[in-house]
Chain A
Amino acid sequence: MTAAILEVREVSRRFGPTLALDRVSFDVREGEVFGLLGPNGAGKTTLLSIVSCLLEATSGEVSLLGRTVVPSDREVRRLIGVVPQELALYGELTARENLCFFGELYDIRGPELSRRVDQILAAIGLEDKAGDRVRTFSGGMKRRLNLGIALVHRPRLLLLDEPTVGVDPQSRNHIFEEVRRLNAEGMTLVYTSHYMEEVQALCSRIGIMDLGRLAACDTLPRLLQLLPGTIRFRVVSLTPILREQLKKLPDAVLSEGDDGLLELECGDAKATVVELMRLMQRTGSELLSLDIEETNLERVFLHLTGRQLRD
């Protein structure tokens, strides 16, 4: 297991009477893509603000590469790149000027800056538009530039806050590829999103936040184990022998409905289906219908955070 690059320890943040973060603790390991999921108001943005030196924690500690993260520490900010959820670009400047401006803020100048900016423009697919003013860009192009700006100083940790909101599938795919490429090059990323499939596809570990607390934090397979899969089926004739055999299926619990619907709750729905099919063949039973409800991240998320609408 690789060492933690970011350590969040018992971090709380209070805004007046509101407790926005309540003793949140987790680690982000070097070279991983860490996903942060949570409904609105869960505390994700507050947490990212603390990690990106914009806010100070009321209590607890955040450390990056062993260095305590506080807003006054300018050096720690050089290690972090932030891709804000809202586009934060200068519309009247060109893409190149935006990149150069932010690069210069990190004391990168001259040929080195030009080289990096060229690389980033190529990476985000805006080489041809480098000299165009950003206000003329499409939403997707702006999103890509929004990402590019955070990379110009080559941060050790990249924080992406909903980086694909409101972009077309092509740009979204481009951003995914860029995230994967950066990760492959060894960059550590913290990725927040509302899109489960994005987090599922990109992140090796995922933290689920709700009401200021970290409800769960683990790898995807382990998170999926938090919730059973469900197999619903009907048979032509439920004989006592078949019922007994079904009850004996490994890692599965049988329940019977009044209307003859049978349900098997299981940890691994795919494996249980295979066992079920074998059993049906062995007992000469015939299936009338079969419906498999596999456990996915969304179900786990809703299970952990509830189905109640959030403000």
Chain B
Amino acid sequence: MNIIWTLVKKELRLVLRDPVSLLLLFVLPLLFIVVFGLFVGESFGQKPDKRLRISLVDLDRGSGLSQSEPWSHIVRRDLAETANIRIEIIDSLDEAERLIHEHKRAAILVFGREFSERINECSFLSGGLNPFHRDGVYLDKVGVELMKDEKQPATAAVIEQVAQVSLLRVILPWMIGRAFERLSDPDFIQILGDKVNLPVPRQFQLLLRKQKVQLGELLKMASGGDPEQAQMYKKKVGDGVQAALAKQFENYNLRGKTWASLTKSREEAREGAEVQQYENREGSGLLRYGGEHYKYLVPMFVVMFVFFLVLIAGWVFVAERRQGTLRRLQTTPLTRGHILMGKMIPCFALSVGQTLFLLVASRWLFGIHWGPKNWSIAEQLAWLLPVVLSTSLAAMGLALLIAAVARSELQVAIYGGLLVLVLAVVGGCVLPREMMPENTQFITFLTPQGWALDAYSELLAKSESYQPNTTIILHSCGVLALVGAVSLGLASWLLRLD
């Protein structure tokens, strides 16, 4: 064991003294992941969505048409029924302010706490709130704020127009409906009765002792002075008014209070907007960028670079052979097993070290979390370690196979480079498996990279409540360990030390 440790120490010392190797092993992969992530942008791994995004914060806690539903929900529903837009709900005002401040949203609609209350106050009646101006609705009057990014005025203007139209479609029918309801109100009939003077026919003039009579007086006379009867007649008149209005404007329901009801519009067959809860895709990492798409990129490139170990291990063997030290080692009391272990253990350690470094760095930079949100660091590590170790074992096996076959640095570069790149492409390290055609996705499982990515993907936190399927993870680890063991065995048999 001491002898193997001597060999391991020597290899690690040689690698640590070679800044190029260190750069290749640790810094370059990380740099590559960061730069590639910046290059492909936030939408990597998702379907492109060109619909207009309306972001909103809903603080409204009041009541609208029903007790249980605030007016903001009615506006949201109206927006949701609008084609070619998507709605994004942002949880807090702070988040909205940050997004605007960082120019990540052009405009965000904020429904204030008093939004429902203000809408309820909107009325054509005197004393009612008139929210309108020439171009639409006074947002401040109804408790709505439109936060705008000054750097994106055009997009902000479009969003504002969409919001204005929706607000008009909600507020105007509400006010019209309420106004027309008043037309059948006994108080209104009383006013009407007071205002309408009708000529008294000649034969009744003697009886009434006047030539004109108010409509209200007639209703009063009809009720015989009974106030309840009078009220009932007023209601009848009111109902008559409503019936007359309904007949007169039969294409509309003037008391509808909603746009659909007012206009008696039928649902048109069109794609409504999708309502999504805002997700912070920036991650909680130091960069505060790309938390979501780096979830794809980090495993892809971690796996890809682990297999680049093939080149390094191959070079180490070929270099040792070329400089004659491999031959010299065989004149010492070392066995073939000692020499192989002395090479494999440091390469394996470097591979595991590289992976852990990239995982820790990705956690720090992009805030990538593994497993369910409630998993502690220890739990995440406990599940990541088998994946990391089995992937490194598979990489080590391939590395030794290349070292067994290649006789020079150039051959290592050609055989190893080709193998690593082809396997990376086929295995899904360049294009995620999800983006491949469905009928070709199985090909990724012909490569160790595909299995490794499968395990990493299963461990990625997909939602708050997500529980990874541990069977899939363990299955992948098993396959990787088998690949590693078989290729190590084959390589040990093929490898010539002289």
Contact = CB atoms under 8 A, between A and B. Distances in A.
Interface of A: 52-54, 71, 74-75, 77-78, 80, 82, 84, 86-93, 97, 101-102, 104-107, 109, 133, 149
B496 to A, nearest CB: 12
Contacts of A77: 331-333
Contact of A90 (B2, B10, B330): B10
A105 B329 contact: yes
Interface in B110-135: none
A56 to B, nearest CB: 12
Contacts of B17: 92-93, 133
A87 B324 CA distance: 7
A6 to B, nearest CB: 15
Contacts of B6: 101, 104-105
B14 interface: yes
Contacts of B335: 74
B438 interface: no
B3 interface: yes
Interface residues of B, number: 22
Given A90-B14, A92-B14, A104-B6, A74 B328 contact: no
B327 A97 contact: no
Nearest to A92: B17
Given A75-B333, A101-B6, A54 B14 contact: no
B323 to A, nearest CB: 7
Most buried by B among A93, A97, A105, A106: A105
Interface of A is mostly: loop
Contacts of A75: 333
B176 to A, nearest CB: 86
Given A54-B498, A97-B13, A89 B323 contact: yes
Contacts of A101: 6, 10
A105 B3 CA distance: 6
A104 B5 CA distance: 10
B434 interface: no
Nearest to B7: A105
Contacts of A87: 323-324
Interface string B370-394: 0000000000000000000000000
A268 B446 CA distance: 80
A133 B13 CA distance: 12
Contact of A105 (B14, B18, B323, B333): B333
A88 B328 contact: yes
Contacts, number: 67
A53 B323 contact: no
B28 interface: no
B61 to A, nearest CB: 70
11 contacts: A54-B327, A88-B324, A88-B328, A89-B323, A89-B325, A90-B325, A92-B13, A93-B13, A105-B3, A105-B7, A107-B333
Interface string B331-342: 111110000000
Interface of B: 2-3, 6-7, 10, 13-14, 17-18, 323-325, 327-335, 498
A170 B479 CA distance: 60
A96 B271 CA distance: 77
Contacts of B327: 54, 84, 88
A131 to B, nearest CB: 13
Given A54-B498, A105-B3, A107-B3, A82 B331 contact: yes
A77 B335 CA distance: 11
A188 to B, nearest CB: 16
A78 B331 contact: no
A80 B331 contact: yes
Contacts of A52: 331
A256 to B, nearest CB: 56
Contacts of B14: 90, 92-93
Given A90-B325, A92-B17, A101-B10, A74 B331 contact: no
B324 A105 contact: no
A263 to B, nearest CB: 49
A53 B330 contact: yes
A88 B498 CA distance: 13
Contact of B332 (A90, A92, A102, A109): A102
A105 B13 contact: no
Nearest to B342: A105
A86 B333 CA distance: 20
A-B pairs, top 8 by smallest CB distance, nearest first, are A88-B324, A88-B328, A74-B333, A104-B6, A86-B324, A82-B331, A105-B332, A92-B17
Contacts of A97: 13
A82 B331 CA distance: 7
A78 B335 CA distance: 13
Contacts of A104: 2-3, 6
A109 B323 CA distance: 26
A78 B331 CA distance: 9
Contacts of B324: 84, 86-88
Contacts of B331: 52-54, 77, 80, 82
